[in-house]
A = this chain, B = another copy of it.
Amino acid sequence: MDLSRTELEEAGAVLAAESGRFASFGWMRGTSGNLSTVVSRDPLRLVVTASGHDKGELGPSDVVLVDGAGAALDGGTPSAEAALHARVAALTGAGAVVHVHTVASVAMGRRKPGGIVFRDLEMLKGVGQPAHDTEVTLPVIANSQDMEELGDRLAQARDPRMPAVVVAGHGLYVWGATPRQARHHTEVVEWLLEFALTQG
């Protein structure tokens, strides 16, 4: 599959803008987190933010094209987590994946290691769930530095009704059809976690 430099930079500009937004919220402190967008489904190809940069200072070329295993195709150094982005895209059909390190996700992951249960919240509609009378669980999985192990845990734990998983001691993975929908899902899941934190 060929992706022109222009197409790569267009995808990079979108990810840089999304990244700057999340950084402004304090969700990508240090150089943490990474974002991706699917540019080809068959074979699976993603554009992923490059590793080690300040996520509030990315430019359109600070991205890497990776294959379905998260390996770089054009040079550059993707985050090790690129493999997990690719796995999420393959597993869920998502067109974009967001990985951020929010304090609320790690705090709630520690408080509820078996999963965080929500019900009777209008905000659940923001991730496609009913606002009433239905329990929806945000899964929590154990952290790992082995992306295959982490991906297996995510594959096993994920709830098709919830486009997100908390990685304990680590942060959030959230996905959506597009970068904008993934952003909205991320905002909604973080809202749910911040609400849960106030509930003692």
Contact = CB atoms under 8 A, between A and B. Distances in A.
A103 interface: yes
A63 to B, nearest CB: 19
Given A143-B122, A169-B121, A198-B197, A29 B103 contact: no
Contacts of A8: none
B107 A198 contact: yes
A32 B143 contact: no
Contact of A143 (B107, B110, B132, B171): B132
B122 A194 contact: no
A133 to B, nearest CB: 11
A101 B124 CA distance: 12
Interface stretch (A65-73, A86-94, A180-188): A180-188
Contacts of A54: 180, 183-184
Contacts of A30: 123, 126, 184-185, 187-188, 191
Contacts of A145: 131-132
A170 interface: yes
Contacts of A167: 122
A81 to B, nearest CB: 10
Interface in A144-200: 145, 167-171, 180, 183-185, 187-188, 190-191, 194-195, 197-199
A197 B132 CA distance: 24
A106 interface: yes
Closest CB pairs A-B (n = 9): A122-B170, A30-B126, A29-B187, A30-B188, A107-B198, A30-B184, A29-B191, A120-B169, A30-B187
Interface of A: 25-26, 29-32, 54, 101, 103, 106-107, 110, 120-123, 126, 131-132, 143, 145, 167-171, 180, 183-185, 187-188, 190-191, 194-195, 197-199
6 contacts: A30-B123, A30-B191, A32-B123, A110-B199, A122-B143, A131-B169
